Structure 1
Amino acid sequence: MSISTSLPRVGAEARAALFTDARTTYAFADTPVDDATLTGIWELARWAPTAANLQPLRVLYVRTPEGKERLLPHLDEGNRPKSASAPVVAVLAVDNRFHEHIPRILPIRPQMKEYFEGDSAQRDSITSFNGPLQAGYFILAVRAFGLAAGPMGGFDAAGIDKEFFPDNDWHAVLVVNIGHPAGAPEFDRLPRLEHEHVIDWV
């Protein structure tokens, strides 16, 4: 008897929510996002693949007025109104001590903990590739929960690290505003490159 190895395929509605209809949001409605949703975003995003399952991404949710007061000065001036209007701002960071979790998350090769402990360049290689990869998964997870995401560069990473992560080895790599959009997008969606400009065949 043959066993099917076909994977499930999400429907058009899910593809639209994640990709074709989703838009970067710049202004947010004053609608709160609850803790269960924020936890659920990570519970979903954490299952996507990383090299050797090493998972270096960490998430700081900034949602209180006091937290915003600490965060906004470290953002570029043009980005501050966006984050001020968002009910939640996620600071995505990479943990340079990710290898301490290896015996639990990679039990088939626990010795890799010592390998990475002795090679900071290899740790940097893991975080520089897998951190942004996981950040992309995180944005899709936000969209999967029916929320809009506004990922931003334009911030003082060293300043955020000093303000929020002085006692560990987390380093900020992306800021993502999260919430429900305040009205329609400000402008029409910009075009994307068609397949003939991107795909080659061998």
Structure 2
Amino acid sequence: MARPRNPLLSRERIVATALALIDEEGLGALSTRRLAARLGVSGPSLYNHFATKEAILDAAADSVVAQVDVSMFQDGTHDWRSALLAWGRSYRAALTGHPNFVPYLAVGPGLRPAGLRMADAVFGAMVEAGWPPAQATRIGALMRYFVTGSALGSFAGGFVGDPDAYDPADYPHLGQAHLLAEHREHVDASAFETGLRALVDGLALQFK
């Protein structure tokens, strides 16, 4: 029997292709027609694996969240402070790897398994550390706000590289602003680290 011209369709292949399409062209580019064309199949064949386009998006979202390390909440070697710091860094790394997908990832986990496992690990660890359940919920939420917000865009990348763009007569304190875009990755990562540490230090002041 001759081998099929295209690899057999699977949920994993559909999700990976959908995520690649979003990474390259943005969320608005994803449609079942475009996705089927990339996969070399007919559109209806996708529905053998996913009932709707939203189900594909949810599966892609979960595949990104599954990259986030939550072991620090369960390995018994981290206190809650160091666990939040390590988790925040891993969380941001997963999201910044797929910047076009961050707006979709900013929504709560719904019924997505990896998202629910992450929420469960964070909440459980905070309660076990001594935080009241209501405050543990708020901590998980504020970390989501902070991490997804940092991954939504680049502060440094918002400046142009032209040294004449920022007239000192108008912006007397932005004489070096044109250098920010060139050092975008370092500036953004350093800003995230500063904010993350400030956030955890602030929580530590509330912990009793």
> TM (normalized to structure 1)?
0.28
Structure with a larger share of its residues in strand = 1
- Tell me which of the two structures has the higher relative contact order, counting C-alpha pairs closer than 8 angstroms and 6 or more residues apart: 1
> Of the two, which has the highest radius of gyration?
2
Structure with a larger share of its residues in helix = 2
> TM (normalized to structure 2)?
0.28
